[in-house]
Amino acid sequence: KEFICELCGTAFSTLNTLRDHHTYIHSDQRLFPCELCDKTFKRKSELNRHVKIHSDSRPVKCHCGQSYKCVSHLRRHEQKSHNVAKSKKGKKESSSIDRISSKQSNTSKEMSSG
């Protein structure tokens, strides 16, 4: 049985996924407040990502030495500074120069180990 959202017509396989959809997409209810500022969020994952802005920690590192608070900031840096393009599926896609360098590096490793 399919469960159809009455507001937008999207179909779901379970009643729970329809309820989640309704809460996250069509509701303004924000059940996850940040304890460090006045922002509130619909999802715990959004709150968890947000809380990082209040910290000085920069655990996400680029190969060039730059560090960032979250992966999305690293991806933006890679696109601007290292010619890394975003693919249609949202995965990063290296420039042809990066791919060639990587292939040359792998070939060198194979030759030196064999």
pLDDT of the chain, 114 residues: tens digit per residue: 899 999 999 999 999 999 999 988 998 888 899 999 999 998 899 999 899 889 888 889 999 999 998 888 899 999 999 988 876 555 544 443 333 333 333 444 444 444
Every domain of the chain and the residues it spans: 3-54, 57-86
pLDDT score for 114: 46
pLDDT score for 87: 61
Q: How far is CA 17 from CA 1, 62, 63, 105, in A?
A: 13, 36, 39, 46
How far apart (Å, rounded) are the C-alpha atoms in residues 82 and 79? 6
pLDDT score for 55: 87
pLDDT score for 31: 86
CATH 3.40.1400.10 is right for the domain spanning 3-54: no
pLDDT score for 97: 35
Which of these, 93, 59, 53, 57, lies nearest to 75 by C-alpha position? 93
